[in-house]
Amino acid sequence: MGWLTAFITANLIGIGSNFDNCGTGIAYGSAQIKFPREVMAIVNIVGFCTALFGAYGGQIISHYISAPQAKWIACIVLVCIGVFFWYSSYVHPKISKQKTKIQIKKPGWKEGILLGLALSFTNIASGFGATVANAATLWATVISITVWGYIMMLLGNVIGIGVIAKLLGKYASLVSGLMLILVGLHQL
């Protein structure tokens, strides 16, 4: 495999592995929440570690946790975050005496780790799948998944804040929650 083919393949794997990062960035952005760059870095450091773990240890963990189980875990975490968006914007103001919605804050390092884990189950599979055929592409694949994870989340957040939030207005939280739920269901 030539270097150009390996480069193109690694980038396609990186992009394909991170559409869920883009969807998550859009979901937060449409709720007018700007992802801090250091949190995106944490999310993608976790993504790097899981891609590397997948590339090195895919065969080992396949004995303990199946791909469907990993997908279910990612789905549950993302759906819960989406449902929380809905609850904080629509349910809580109706049942609370204060009639104010819960303010969803900017994600911090704890949320970054949680999101990183939820979004990285595909990285395990991508890292494993890409390197089984050709071990020479291990580092190119892992680095591509990490870099594209950051780019896709940043791009999604910018699009969400700039375009989608203005289009959606008061329905932004509804769509944000729906996006996270759909990203979660996409994991399945």
Query: What's the residue count for the chain?
Result: 188
pLDDT per residue as tens, the chain (188 positions): 577 877 887 777 777 777 778 888 888 887 788 888 898 899 889 988 888 887 776 545 555 666 677 667 667 766 887 787 788 777 877 777 765 555 666 778 888 888 888 777 667 666 665 555 454 467 787 888 889 989 988 988 888 888 776 776 667 667 767 776 776 776 66
**DSSP secondary structure string for all residues of 131-149:** HHH-GGGHHHHHHHHHHHH
pLDDT of residue 147: 92
Instruction: Collect all residues with Cβ–Cβ distance below 8 Å to 187 and sequence separation of at least 6.
Output: 20, 71, 72, 74, 75, 78, 121, 122
Say whether pTM exceeds 0.85. no
User: DSSP 3-state assignment of 36?
Assistant: coil
CA–CA dist 126, 21 (Å, integer): 14
pLDDT at 1: 54
The whole-number pLDDT of residue 73 equals 67
Residue 11 has a pLDDT of: 79
Max Cα-Cα span within the chain: 65
Buried b (16+ CB within 10 A) or exposed e, 77-111: bbbebbebbbbbbeebeeeeeeeebeebeebeeeb
Element at 187 (helix H, strand E): none
pLDDT at site 136: 46
Residue 78's Cα: distance from chain center in Å? 9
Distance spanning both ends of the chain, measured CA to CA: 32
**Four-residue CA torsion sign, 128, 76, 45, 63:** negative
